[in-house]
């Protein structure tokens, strides 16, 4: 699935990846298939917002944004964490709505207004500074109130909400376009009680907001797992993160979704298709004798005469050092185990059993090759984290190629 179909600058005849030592490929078909599934689940009345924070979970925000805004299927808007992420999307030509989840420094609130961006509002000091920025520019600032319902992250408590609402009613420069909350315990469990309590609290706050005379265009709570397992959380807008990239938020989410689908009489349960493949090329091959040590700290000693491949990828690229002597890569459709410690920019793998392996061969660090797969979930399992972290940490400087 490489070479010929890579979208890239057209000024070179050879496949662009021939000169790359490590890169990420984004499978456009897989992305469209995932987005179409979530569009079906959300329906056409609900705003489907693609969450592109952290470089689109490591997939490449610009590449994913372009795919998400193709005509069909299409995400309606974006969510990001930082102002700079939002501005980068504007620079890439995206005019759609963009919600910023995270804090924006007071000195930069004018850029939020000028960029016609949506801002998550979760503290009064920001509100005052935002009013001033909007007044200075003569434009309105659009905010989505973050409501605390049980995650204890950002958000106004139910008790502080009345004073915030009073303040907002007296702020002609601020448009309260939305209100939202975020679930604490929806992907790690098949038990929905905590999420239901949060949804109830959110509904009560929405009632308070309506009683204060504020008409909200967008009420939202759902992340991927919420849309999959509690469709009633979709409300006016769904914040779709991990699912668009072809990952289930967790095993529990997959099981809950499947159980609900089967109970509803579905004969086939939709599948998600991972979008990302992380690749590298073999930089060098070497033959080492039996009993030789490999890498820093001499943590691996060969038990046979071994053919080693040196890969130009290390922990600086986001390949976790705790995968040393633990994981494997795919070469010519075979599994090649990582030997010795992962270095800053390099790692060694055992290719003794890979027939006809050659320098320059393409290696899959994460993703599928032939019938074999190295999944983000597997790598996450080896180092005690979640797949979200594994893909997010792939260095932003590595090229992202849409294939
Ligand atoms: C990251 C994030 C999401 C998306 O969550 P997924 O589980 O990846 O779908 C939604 N809402 C907020 C506030 C987030 O921070």
Residue 9 exposed, middle or buried by CB count within 10 Å (0-12, 13-18, 19+):
exposed
How many whole angstroms from 16 Cα to the centroid of ligand 1?
A: 34
What sign has the CA pseudo-torsion 194, 199, 204, 209? positive
Q: What is the DSSP letter of 41?
A: H
Q: For the whole prediction, is pTM greater than 0.85?
A: yes
For residue 120, the ligand 1 atom closest to its alpha carbon is: 13
Please tell me the distance between residue 183's alpha carbon and the centre of ligand 1 in angstroms. 9
Angle CA 244–247–250, to nearest 5: 125
DSSP 191-236: --HHHHHHHHHHHHHHHHHHHTTPPPSEEEEE-HHHHHH-GGG-TT
Residue 336 pairs in a beta bridge with 329
- Look at ligand 1, atom 10, and give the residue with the nearest C-alpha: 223
CA of 53 to the centre of ligand 1 (A): 9
Check pocket membership of 224 for ligand 1, CB cut-off 6 A.
yes
Whether 242 lines ligand 1, by a CB cut-off of 6 Å, is yes
Question: Which of 211, 190, 192, 212 has the alpha carbon at shortest distance from 200?
Answer: 192
Query: Tokens in use for 283?
Result: 């930089």
What atom in ligand 1 is closest to the CA of residue 243?
9
- Alpha carbon 220 to its chain centroid, in Å, reads 19
Determine if ligand 1 sits within 6 Å of the CB of residue 101: yes
Write the burial class of residue 393 (CB in 10 Å: 0-12 exposed, 13-18 middle, 19+ buried): middle
Atom of ligand 1 at shortest distance to CA of 81? 15
For 295-330, letters b (16+ CB in 10 Å) and e give beeeebebeeebbbbbbbbbbebbbbeebbeebbbb
Ligand 1 centre to CA of 346 (Å) is 33
Residue 141 CA, ligand 1 centroid: distance in Å: 23
Q: Give nearest CA residue, ligand 1 atom 1.
A: 241
The minimum-distance atom of ligand 1 relative to the CA of 224 is 9
List CB contacts of 382: < 8 A, sequence separation 6 or more: 322, 323, 326, 327
- Phi-psi category of residue 332: left, alpha or beta, with phi > 0 → left and psi -120 to 50 → alpha: left
* Atom 12 in ligand 1: residue holding the nearest Cα: 182
Peptide bond just before 338 cis, omega within 30 deg: no
Per-residue pLDDT tens, the chain, 403 aa: give them. 344 344 444 454 555 788 899 999 999 999 999 999 999 999 999 999 999 999 999 999 999 999 999 999 999 999 999 999 999 999 999 999 999 999 999 999 999 999 999 999 999 999 999 999 999 999 999 999 999 999 999 999 999 999 999 999 999 999 999 999 999 999 888 899 999 999 999 999 999 999 999 999 999 999 999 999 999 999 999 999 999 999 999 999 999 999 998 999 988 888 999 999 999 999 999 999 999 999 999 999 999 999 999 999 999 999 999 999 999 999 999 999 999 999 999 999 999 999 999 999 999 999 999 999 999 999 999 999 999 999 999 999 999 999 9
Query: pLDDT value at position 267?
Result: 85
> Which of 35, 41, 42, 51 for a ligand 1 pocket mutation test, highest count of atoms within 8 Å of Cβ?
51
Strands (E), 312-387: 328-331, 334-339, 347-350, 362-369, 372-374
For ligand 1, the distance from its centroid to the CA atom of residue 38, given in whole angstroms, is 14
- If one residue of 182, 195, 386 were mutated to test the ligand 1 pocket, choosing by the most ligand atoms within 8 A of its CB, it would be 182
Catalytic residues: 53, 296
Asked if residue 238 has its Cβ within 6 Å of ligand 1, the reply is no
- The region that residue 46 occupies, defined by phi over 0 for left and psi between -120 and 50 for alpha, beta otherwise, is beta
Cα(355)–Cα(333) distance, rounded to whole angstroms?
A: 10
Query: What is the reported pLDDT for 15?
Result: 57
At residue 4, the pLDDT reads 39
Query: For the chain, how are helix, strand and coil distributed in percent, rounded to 5?
Result: 35, 25, 40
DSSP character at residue 140: P
pLDDT value of residue 13: 52
**220 CB under 6 A from ligand 1?**
no
Is the C-beta atom of 288 inside 6 A of ligand 1?
A: no
CA of 112 to the centre of ligand 1 (A): 21
Which of 101, 118, 254 to probe ligand 1 with, by most ligand atoms within 8 A of CB?
Answer: 101
Angle at 102 between CA 99 and CA 108, to 5 degrees: 85
Tokens of 167: 């303040």
Nearest atom (ligand 1) to Cα of 180: 13
Is the CB of residue 148 less than 8 Å from the CB of residue 155?
Answer: yes
Question: Measured in whole angstroms, how far is the alpha carbon of residue 189 from the centre of its chain?
Answer: 20
**For residue 242, how far is its CA from the centre of ligand 1 (angstroms)?**
8
Q: Distance of alpha carbon 371 from its chain centroid, rounded? A: 25
**Ligand 1 atom closest to 223 (CA):** 9
Q: Is 64 in the pocket of ligand 1 (CB under 6 A)?
A: no
């Amino acid at each position: 699935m490489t070479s010929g179909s890579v979208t890239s600058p057209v000024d070179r005849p050879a496949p662009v990846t021939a000169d790359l030592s490590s890169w990420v490929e984004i499978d456009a078909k897989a992305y469209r298939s995932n987005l179409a599934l979530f569009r079906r689940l959300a329906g056409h009345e609900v705003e489907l917002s693609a969450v592109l924070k952290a470089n689109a979970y490591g997939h490449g925000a610009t590449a994913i944004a372009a795919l998400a805004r193709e005509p069909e299927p299409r995400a309606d808007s974006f969510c990001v964490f930082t102002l700079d992420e939002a501005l980068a999307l504007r620079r890439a030509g995206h005019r759609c709505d963009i919600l910023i989840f995270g804090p924006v420094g007071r000195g930069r609130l004018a850029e939020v207004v000028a960029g016609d961006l949506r801002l998550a509002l979760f503290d009064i000091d920001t509100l005052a500074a935002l009013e001033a920025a909007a007044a200075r520019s003569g434009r309105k600032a659009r905010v989505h109130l973050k409501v605390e319902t049980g995650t204890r992250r950002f958000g106004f408590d139910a008790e502080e909400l009345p004073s915030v609402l009073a303040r907002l009613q007296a702020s002609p420069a601020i448009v309260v376009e939305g209100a939202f909350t975020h679930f604490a315990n929806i992907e790690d469990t098949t038990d929905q009680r905590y999420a239901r309590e949060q949804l109830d609290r959110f509904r009560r706050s929405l009632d308070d907001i309506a009683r204060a005379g504020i008409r909200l265009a967008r009420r939202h709570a759902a992340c991927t797992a919420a849309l999959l397992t509690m469709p009633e959380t979709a409300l006016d807008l769904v914040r779709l993160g991990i699912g668009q990239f072809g990952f289930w938020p967790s095993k529990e989410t997959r099981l809950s979704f499947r159980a609900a689908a089967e109970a509803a009489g579905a004969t086939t349960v939709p599948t998600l298709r991972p979008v990302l493949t992380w690749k590298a090329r073999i930089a060098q091959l070497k033959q080492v004798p039996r009993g030789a040590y490999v890498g820093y700290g001499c943590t691996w000693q060969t038990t046979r005469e071994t053919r080693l491949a040196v890969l130009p990828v290390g922990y600086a690229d986001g390949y976790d050092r705790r995968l040393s002597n633990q994981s494997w890569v795919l070469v010519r459709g075979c599994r090649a185990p990582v030997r010795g410690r992962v270095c800053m920019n390099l790692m060694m793998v055992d290719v003794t059993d890979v027939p006809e392996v050659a320098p320059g061969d393409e290696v899959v660090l994460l993703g599928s090759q032939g019938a074999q797969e190295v999944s983000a979930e597997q790598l996450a399992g080896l180092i005690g984290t979640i797949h979200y972290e594994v893909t997010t940490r792939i260095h932003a400087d590595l090229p992202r190629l849409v294939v």
